[in-house]
């Protein structure tokens, strides 16, 4: 005969299986995100107990995945992740791009025996991103505590503008090249052919004429190619 307690436990477990997918559906986003209990101490390859949020890379940008380690559940240490789940619940991570918040919350505790193996856990670790540029909050939320941390995601630097076009003019046996003098981040280069390693900087003969830089050279029988290269 089943007891009322057995029925209640199984009913709670069934409700948990239904509620977890709903929670994931409500909090999920297009961004990648994953979290699990953080293994420490034993085995020896485990990392120390986390005492603060650690991001890798420390200064993330909009095109990087971000790994993290964070303390959780008042820095308690559990025998293994099953025990941690049975007491505090399994961690779930969500990303809210609108409010720039990454949250780790815990599901209702699981039910059942705890396996007798030592795999000490404390805190949580995982990854998320890429994230949009901005000032973000990372928070770990439990039944009786909330740990909040802030970090910044920087936009990658803008690529330098492309070099302006080079104008060419011929007068008698002189070839004159000109380009805007405002292109101070560019250098004129010359090569006898278009091979990648044949280019060298033009170091003399360049003058300024109004708003343009001008380089003049006598025309000859030898082929020569010119280009502006961004420094």
- pLDDT (average), residues 100-111: 91
Q: Of 2-11, 111-120, 166-175, which gets the smallest average pLDDT?
A: 2-11
Identify the pLDDT of residue 61. 93
For residues 223 and 182, the model is more confident at 182
Give the model's pLDDT for residue 21.
38
pLDDT score for 143: 78
Q: Place 139 in a pLDDT band, splitting at 50, 70 and 90.
A: very high
- Mean predicted lDDT score pLDDT of the chain: 82
The whole-angstrom separation of Cα 110 and Cα 76 is: 18
Does 5 score more than 60 pLDDT? no
**Does position 134 have pLDDT exceeding 70, yes or no?**
yes
Domain residues of the chain, as ranges? 4-153, 167-230
Strand order across the 186-191 sheet = 200-201, 186-191, 225-230
Burial level of 73, CB count in 10 A (0-12/13-18/19+)?
Answer: buried
Q: What is the pLDDT of residue 130?
A: 95
Q: Which of 18, 141, 164 is nearest to 88 (CA)?
A: 141
Q: What would the mean pLDDT of 89-93 be, rounded to a whole number?
A: 94
Range 130-134 average pLDDT:
95
Residues 180-194: what's their mean pLDDT?
90
- pLDDT of 19 reads 40
């Amino acid at each position: 005969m089943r007891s009322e307690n057995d029925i209640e436990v199984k009913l709670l477990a069934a409700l948990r299986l239904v509620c977890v997918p709903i929670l994931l559906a409500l909090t999920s986003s297009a961004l990648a995100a994953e979290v699990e209990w953080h293994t420490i101490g034993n085995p020896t390859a485990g990392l120390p107990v986390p005492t603060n949020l650690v991001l890798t890379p420390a200064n993330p940008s909009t095109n990087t995945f971000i790994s993290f380690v964070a303390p959780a559940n008042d820095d308690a240490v559990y025998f293994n992740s099953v025990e941690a789940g049975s007491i505090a619940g399994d961690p779930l991570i969500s990303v809210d791009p609108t409010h720039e918040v990454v949250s780790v919350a815990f599901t209702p505790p699981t039910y059942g025996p705890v396996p007798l193996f030592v795999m000490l856990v404390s805190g949580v670790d995982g990854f998320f991103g890429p994230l949009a540029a901005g000032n973000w909050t990372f928070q770990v939320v439990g039944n009786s505590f909330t740990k909040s941390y802030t970090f910044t995601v920087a936009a990658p630097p803008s690529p330098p503008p492309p070099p302006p076009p080079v104008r060419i003019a011929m007068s008698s046996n002189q070839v004159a090249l000109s380009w805007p003098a405002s292109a101070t981040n560019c250098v004129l280069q010359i090569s006898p052919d278009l091979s990648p390693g044949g280019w060298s900087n033009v170091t003399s003969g360049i003058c300024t004429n109004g708003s343009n830089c001008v380089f003049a050279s006598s025309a000859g029988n030898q082929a020569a190619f010119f280009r502006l290269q961004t420094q």
